[in-house]
Amino acid sequence: MQESSTVVTLDLLIRIHVRTIIDISGVASEIGWSPGSIRNAISAGTFPIKSFLLGGRRMFYLADVAEYIDLQRRGGTASGCVQHMDKKGHRAKIEVAA
């Protein structure tokens, strides 16, 4: 069931963006972060979606974005990431696991 949910989300994202890769502004619009916050999180090594450089531009595979969206919908974290809780039990931040 988990895999089919990601496939549905991926299919919807491909219909919206037409390509299988998108830039920071596309990711920002899909997950509700600002492009600057994404850049800061990437620089800090805490952004939960894998990215790569293509011609000097930061790009993301739609499959990775879809997986992140589905994990957030289920309340999980992306693979390779650890989510910490603050003293009151609220989600504090996500860090990349070493």
pLDDT in tens, 14-40: 788 878 899 999 999 999 999 999 999
Q: How far apart are CA 75 and CA 38, in angstroms?
A: 20
Parent domain of 79: 2-96
Q: Distance between CA 91 and CA 94 in Å, rounded?
A: 8
The count of domains in the chain is 1
Q: Give the chain's count of helices (H) and strands (E).
A: 4, 5
Answer for the pair 58, 18: CB distance below 8 angstroms, yes or no.
no
Instruction: Say whether pLDDT at 91 is over 60.
Output: no
Entry pTM: 0.65
DSSP 46: -
The pLDDT of residue 98 is 39
Per residue in 37-61, pLDDT tens?
999 999 999 999 999 999 999 999 9
Q: What is the chain's mean pLDDT, rounded?
A: 79
